[in-house]
Amino acid sequence: MKDISAMLTEHSQEHLLKVLDRLEGAEREAFVRRIEQIDWDMVELWKHPEDLSGKGRVRPITGLTLKEINEKREEFLQAGKQAIAQGKVGAVLLAGGQGTRLGVNGPKGAYDIGETHSLYIFEQLIRNLQDVCKLCERYVPLFVMTSELNDAETKAFLQEHGYFGYPKEYIRFFVQEMAPVVDLNGKLVMESANRLAMSPNGNGGWYTSMEKSGILKDFRDIEWLNVFAVDNVLQRIADPAFVGATILSGKNSGAKVVRKNHPYEKVGVLCLEDGISSVIEYYEMTEDMANEKDAEGNLAYCYGVILNYLFKLQKLRDTVGKKIPIHVVKKKVAKYENGETKKPDSENAYKFETLILDMVRQMETCLPFEVEREREFAPIKNKTGVDSVESARRLLALNGVKL
Ligand code: UTP
């Protein structure tokens, strides 16, 4: 066994030596195991939160516009339906987040957005997927990523609701990994007297966790994975036109995008970085880039990503073990100190997260596939205001969903 005390000292975490001395039995074992698993290179990153330098030469990317998609819809639909009917497409629901902005304690998908009757977020997403299954006469395997914090609750909730009518044999769960949390001076945070504070490691680790879990072996025909967020209740999942267009494009991935509302809208934008597909965050854009126009006078960087991607499995397999950027994010984290765990009023800690948008670069080629915002984008991040339960309800009603 490694010398844990020496390890803590080497990494300036002497404040935990007292904890180590005090713990016994199973609690000590669990604590030691957590410490042994820490990626210290990652923890060191707290010294450089959000180092944004190092972007290559960024250029606009050409995508499929709504008009082009409508002109070729039949061709795309046919190719996509065929791939789905042959079992080549799986869907991956990213449900490992904590939904802090929405203020939920349990899984975000278990949140009820109904007004006159219950309508859970998971329920609406499964309904959306069922539409495609009916059209293609084939169930799409649904992989649900949870975290250690919500795995049991997510499974219990879906079981209790009969998986909202989706056949259980087409659903698999896998758990994402956790990362430690440090305070603003780089010290590992305790969440209770005996346990380190850990947090889900972001949505960029989904494929590594999925591959490790071995669940893909049950569905050997899968060639493409459509990955989507838990909170966009309007999104089309395994959308045959999107699947078909991406396959026919010969690219390794596709991204559903909405046209930016204005130059400074706070969305990540699909672009080319040194000739390779990439997503640039709104805060990484210069004034000139934000306002650059194409030949028709439209915004040149116009394709905002909505966290709905299609990835080629073969290419994903090539990325395993390759480094993906780790983002250091300042958050409010409940901390154990002086005998009690307290929730802070302001950001008091750094979390370490990888982001799915960085996988677009790993894919090297990506097809921007434009969708209508009012038809496919109703994210629920907050209770009220922008991207909220309120705005999502309005958009669902607009699309004929009874609430
Ligand atoms: P968000 O970035 O909106 O995070 O996740 P969140 O945890 O849901 O909400 P906040 O920021 O705490 O308010 C976008 C998508 O990525 C998933 C979320 O479940 C959501 O589908 N996600 C996020 C994970 O699966 N794991 C993570 O570690 C983070």
User: Checking phi first, is residue 121 left (phi over 0); if not, alpha (psi -120 to 50) or beta?
Assistant: alpha
- Ligand 1 is surrounded, with C-beta below 6 A, by 94-101, 108, 145, 176, 200-203, 229-231, 307, 381
> What does the pLDDT read at residue 323?
85
Same domain for 296 and 232, yes or no, is yes
> What does the pLDDT read at residue 272?
96
96 CA distance to ligand 1 centroid (A)? 6
100 found inside a domain: yes
Q: What is the mean pLDDT of residues 230-242?
A: 97
Question: For the segment 34-56, what is each residue's pLDDT rounded down to a tens digit?
Answer: 999 999 989 998 887 665 556 78
Neighbouring-strand partners of residue 183? 349
44 found inside a domain: no
121 found inside a domain: yes
Pocket test for ligand 1, best of 230, 324, 354 (most atoms within 8 A of CB): 230
**What CA–CA distances, in Å, run from 164 to 147, 178, 396?**
21, 29, 18
Question: For the segment 342-376, what is each residue's pLDDT rounded down to a tens digit?
Answer: 999 999 999 999 999 999 999 999 999 999 999 99
pLDDT at 179 over 90: yes
Same domain for 16 and 54, yes or no, is no
Q: What is the mean pLDDT of residues 9-16?
A: 95
Neighbouring-strand partners of residue 64? 369
Q: Which residue has the tokens 């789905």?
A: 84
Average pLDDT, the chain: 94
- pLDDT band for 8, please (50, 70, 90 cuts): very high
Same domain for 393 and 310, yes or no, is yes
Same domain for 78 and 219, yes or no, is yes
Same domain for 100 and 243, yes or no, is yes
Same domain for 75 and 178, yes or no, is yes
Residue 311 maps to which CATH number? 3.90.550.10
Q: Which atom of ligand 1 is nearest to the CA of 101?
A: 13
For the chain, the residue count is: 403
| Ligand 1: residue whose CA is nearest its atom 15 | 229
Same domain for 33 and 61, yes or no, is no
73 CA distance to ligand 1 centroid (A)? 32
275 found inside a domain: yes
Q: What is the mean pLDDT of residues 327-345?
A: 93
Q: Which atom of ligand 1 is nearest to the CA of 176?
A: 26
Pocket test for ligand 1, best of 92, 94, 232, 353 (most atoms within 8 A of CB): 94
Please count the other Cβ atoms lying within 10 Å of the Cβ belonging to residue 36.
11
79 found inside a domain: yes
Same domain for 211 and 260, yes or no, is yes
43 found inside a domain: no
Measure the N-to-C terminal CA separation of the chain; round to a whole number of Å: 57
| Ligand 1: residue whose CA is nearest its atom 9 | 99
Same domain for 105 and 242, yes or no, is yes
90 CA distance to ligand 1 centroid (A)? 20
42 found inside a domain: no
| Segments forming the whole domain that contains residue 365 | 49-398
Same domain for 306 and 351, yes or no, is yes
Same domain for 251 and 151, yes or no, is yes
Q: Which atom of ligand 1 is nearest to the CA of 96?
A: 25
**Total of domains in the chain:** 2
Pocket test for ligand 1, best of 231, 281, 353, 381 (most atoms within 8 A of CB): 231
67 CA distance to ligand 1 centroid (A)? 32
403 found inside a domain: no
Q: Which residue has the tokens 């299954």?
A: 133
Rounded Cα distance, 376 and 234, in Å: 5
In this prediction the pTM is 0.93
Same domain for 10 and 79, yes or no, is no
Torsion, Cα of 306, 310, 314, 318 (10° steps): 0
